[in-house]
Amino acid sequence: MKDLIKLIMIFLFGGLISAAFYFLNLNFLVTILVLSISLPIITYLSCRRTITVEKVVKDSDDDFVDISKKLAQSSRDIYVSTNKLYDISKDIYSLSDEITVLTEKDNKNIRSIINEIENVISKVSNIIKSAKDAKSLSNYCLEDIKRNESSIKNSRSTFDDLIYVYKNFSKSKDELIASSQKIYEIANYINEIANRTHLLSLNASIEAARAGESGRGFLVVAGEIKKLAAQSKEFSENIKKVLDGITESINKLDEVSNLSSMKMEQTKKELEELYSSIYRFINSTVELDNNINNVIYQAEAIENSTNLALETAQAVYSSHENTTSLVEKSAEFIQNQWSVVEKFKRISDEISTVSDEFLKKSIDDSVEQKLYEIGKRIMEYNGDKTEHALKKLCSDLGVSDVYYANSLGIFEYGTTKEAMGLNIFELDKRYRDFVRSGEDVRIYPLTRRLDTGELFKFMAVKRRDKEGVISVGISIDKLLNLK
């Protein structure tokens, strides 16, 4: 290239000098002499100029590569920063909506809390009123029971006296039964005497009949004795009848007495139980009164605390309303910011697109040919496939990374351990089409990595050691180095 430029410059300047001498009608020998002297000078000057031009071109190429690298780096930084800004702004925008919704819910919740507190205050007031009414009723009942306590004691004492009288009555009844028994004995004795008197009067009548006239007076006496005996017997029988009636009445009275005695004993137990119940009721009423006092005290404390809570909730509600206003203003600002960020992202995407197109055009066919040759060398590589060895291979070939996948698309070897086990067919479906195509090397267009934002070219290379595919990645910096 240098020699060609030199030759062209010599002939160009030589031709110009010859033409000048020709048109000026100078002598041929003079022309030859001038050419002999001027040609070395022209050649020297032409070589110097050619070197200068080559240096400028080389410097321009170097500057172009440096500018392209800086552009690629700036494009990557803009892409990454814009995506981060977009994601953060999107999250802030979403959070702003959520905060606004939550703030509104908080307002409703605080309002509901205030309503509930007011309801609690109302219910506590009702509890205090009911407790005071119960205390008044309890005090009235307690005073009434204490007033009637003496009457209950007197009733119990009177009933004890009644039981004592009834026991005395029972004792008199027993005595009456004993007296009736004695009367029975006397009546039997009178009846026996009457029978004997009647027998004696009968004998006297018989003897008076034998005596005749002399025994007539004795017969009269015997008649009177007989009459007295009959009257005594009748009197004895009447006494027995009366005693039988008395005995029957006493037996009935005894039955009633026994039943009454049982009832009295039962009534006495019930009175004692009633008296015990009344005392228990008095004690319970006193304890209830103490508990009511405690309820009133606790309810009043709750009322005071609830009033304080109500004041606090109202203050929180007022403050929260101010917070809500600020949140709404912030949401409005965030909405405006989000609109700006969306516009900025569109502009950034356009800048990235223009930058990508410029960088794509800066990679000429010579770079594509070098990439194809690199792909061939990788396909023919049969050395060690450890991580260290593959990194050295990448450094020697001027590529960024290399990964070996089996027929299922799963990475077996590579320059990073983190990628092992991933499936290239799932990550990039173009590799599956490449395996079916039967090609040895396929170079894909310049694309931007989603994780780093860096521009990359990817190559699919057929494996020679077994069925599968090799994925080769070359960053834009390395591509420009190849250029």
Span 258-267, pLDDT tens digits: 776 677 677 7
pLDDT grade for 63, boundaries at 50, 70 and 90: low
**Arithmetic mean of pLDDT over the chain:** 73
CA dist 399 and 458 (Å) reads 10
Range of the domain at 228: 118-324
Question: DSSP label at 423?
Answer: B
Residues facing 414 on adjacent strands: 403
Query: Given 301, 324, 347, which residue is the final one in a domain?
Result: 324
How far is it between the farthest Cα atoms of the chain? Answer: 254
Question: DSSP label at 224?
Answer: H
Which tokens hold the place of 415? 């320059």
CA dist 163 and 171 (Å) reads 12
The per-residue pLDDT for range 169-202, each reduced to its tens digit, is 666 667 667 776 777 677 677 777 767 776 766 7
Is the residue at 402 inside a domain?
Answer: yes
CA distance between the termini of the chain: 19
Rounded average pLDDT over 73-96: 68
Is the residue at 401 inside a domain?
Answer: yes
Are residues 287 and 217 both part of a single domain?
yes
CATH code, domain with 466: 3.30.450.20
Are residues 316 and 414 both part of a single domain?
no
Are residues 253 and 398 both part of a single domain?
no
Is the residue at 149 inside a domain?
Answer: yes
Three-state SS at 279: helix
Least confident span in 64-73, 92-101, 205-214, 340-349: 64-73
The per-residue pLDDT for range 445-461, each reduced to its tens digit, is 888 877 777 888 899 99
Are residues 370 and 236 both part of a single domain?
no
Is the residue at 42 inside a domain?
Answer: no
Query: Which of 53-57, 114-118, 444-448 reaches the highest mean pLDDT?
Result: 444-448
Are residues 223 and 276 both part of a single domain?
yes
CA 477 distance to own-chain centroid = 53
Is the residue at 319 inside a domain?
Answer: yes
Which tokens hold the place of 440? 């040895």
Residues facing 69 on adjacent strands: none
Query: Given 324, 354, 389, which residue is the final one in a domain?
Result: 324
Rounded average pLDDT over 71-92: 67
Are residues 142 and 273 both part of a single domain?
yes
DSSP string over 67-134:
HHHHHHHHHHHHHHHHHHHHHHHHHHHHHHHHHHHHHHHHHHHHHHHHHHHHHHHHHHHHHHHHHHHH
CA dist 459 and 424 (Å) reads 12
pLDDT grade for 22, boundaries at 50, 70 and 90: very low
Are residues 265 and 151 both part of a single domain?
yes
Residues 6+ apart with CB under 8 A from 282: 142, 145, 146, 149
Is the residue at 254 inside a domain?
Answer: yes
pLDDT at 16 over 60: no
Query: Given 295, 324, 353, which residue is the final one in a domain?
Result: 324
pLDDT grade for 276, boundaries at 50, 70 and 90: confident
- Element at 202 (helix H, strand E): helix 28-211
Other CB atoms within 10 A of residue 403 CB: 20
pLDDT grade for 469, boundaries at 50, 70 and 90: very high
pLDDT at 472: 95
Match 């008076």 to its residue by tokens: 208
Task: Quote the number of domains for the chain.
Answer: 2
CA dist 132 and 293 (Å) reads 8
CA dist 445 and 455 (Å) reads 10
pLDDT at 440 over 90: yes
In 3-state terms, the chain is what percent helix, strand and coil (to 5)? Answer: 85, 5, 10
Is the residue at 101 inside a domain?
Answer: no
The answer to whether the beta carbons of residues 334 and 92 sit under 8 Å apart is yes
pLDDT at 2 over 50: no
The CA R_g of the chain, rounded to the nearest whole Å, is 70
Is the residue at 31 inside a domain?
Answer: no
Are residues 240 and 314 both part of a single domain?
yes
Are residues 163 and 307 both part of a single domain?
yes
The answer to whether the beta carbons of residues 78 and 352 sit under 8 Å apart is yes
pLDDT grade for 57, boundaries at 50, 70 and 90: very low
pLDDT at 402: 96
Residues facing 443 on adjacent strands: 459
pLDDT grade for 479, boundaries at 50, 70 and 90: confident
pLDDT grade for 85, boundaries at 50, 70 and 90: low
pLDDT at 112 over 70: yes
The answer to whether the beta carbons of residues 363 and 477 sit under 8 Å apart is no
Q: What 3 state SS string does 432-471 have?
A: HHHHHHCCCEEECCCEECCCCCCEEEEEEEECCCCCEEEE
Which tokens hold the place of 253? 């009275």
Of how many residues is the chain composed?
483
Residues facing 442 on adjacent strands: 460
Rounded average pLDDT over 285-292: 74
Are residues 181 and 316 both part of a single domain?
yes
b vs e for 257-276, b when ≥16 Cβ sit within 10 Å of the residue's Cβ? beeeeeebeeeeeebeeeee
CATH code, domain with 135: 1.10.287.950
pLDDT at 72: 61
Are residues 312 and 405 both part of a single domain?
no
Rounded average pLDDT over 378-385: 92
Are residues 284 and 390 both part of a single domain?
no
CA dist 330 and 445 (Å) reads 44
The per-residue pLDDT for range 387-425, each reduced to its tens digit, is 999 999 999 999 999 999 999 999 999 999 999 999 999
pLDDT at 274 over 90: no
Question: DSSP label at 404?
Answer: E
CA dist 86 and 90 (Å) reads 6
